[in-house]
Every structure is written in C-alpha cells, then in structure tokens.
Copies of this chain bind each other. A is one copy, B any other.
Amino acid sequence: MDFSIGELSRQTGVKVPTIRYYEKEGLIDAPLRTEGNQRRYQETDRERLRFIRHCRDLGLPMPAVRDLIELSQHPDRPCDEADRIAAEQLRSVRERILHLKKLEAELERIAVSCQGDHTVTECNVLKAFGDHGQCLSNH
C-alpha cells in the first residue's frame, strides 16, 4: 500500500537524501509518518517524483520544474505555460548544441595540430589553448 523512502528511491532512481531535499524545498509534499517517525509514501508521491526526475533528466532548470508542478496543481487552468516552458527548453537545448558545435570545431583543429613527437616548448596544442586569436569563431 505505502512504502518507505528507500523503496521510493529504488522505484524512481532518486537518491534518498535527494528525496528529503526535495521535500524540504517544497517540491514534494511531506508524507505521512509511521509511529516511529519514518516517512511512508503513496503512489501519487511516486508519480510526482518521477515527474521531477524526468524533467531534470530532460535538462529543465529547477524553477521550470517548480512552475510545472504549480501548474499541475490547478487542473482547470489553460496549459499555455507548460507549452511555453517546453518550447523554451527546446530553444535552450538547441542553443547549447550550437555552442558545443563551435567548441567541437575548435577542439578538432587544436587536437590535430600536434601530431607526432614534440616537446612542450613546440607544442601547438598548448599554443592553441593559450591563443584565442587562432580560433575560427567566438566560442
């Protein structure tokens, strides 16, 4: 019926201290307790935690997760806000990809610049790391 924090952790992949942290932060509700003061969770808690976990895995920033939870508490509201958050995250992921591709290009150039046996003094890799002027883009 209900389960312990360790069981919840196993079922969701969220570590025990992290679950307690989320509770302190108000992301999940404080659950019922046994007589001995141990937490006992219900299925709704598990769903909530999986929701958080999945959002985090998808790279959503914490405030966005908070907003989505807030939103899901109000079933009658329009869900534009959820759309907006998803779209914004998509935008941000794409931006990061572009940035990393620039880095990839620079690192590729740097990594192949020093083939073979050299000493540090004549190492083009070290030179390239020191000199942004050699770069193809403003990464």
Contacts and interface: CB of A to CB of B under 8 A. Distances in A.
Contact of A50 (B94, B111, B123, B130): B130
Interface string A118-134: 11110101100111100
- Stoichiometry, as copies per complex, reads 2
A79 B139 contact: no
A43 to B, nearest CB: 13
B107 A76 contact: no
A90 B100 CA distance: 10
A68 B114 CA distance: 14
Given A75-B120, A82-B126, A107 B47 contact: no
Given A79-B119, A79-B125, A118-B78, A90 B107 contact: yes
Interface of A: 47, 50-51, 54-55, 57-60, 68, 71-72, 74-79, 82-83, 85-87, 89-90, 93-94, 96-97, 100-101, 103-104, 106-108, 110-111, 114, 117-121, 123, 125-126, 129-132, 139
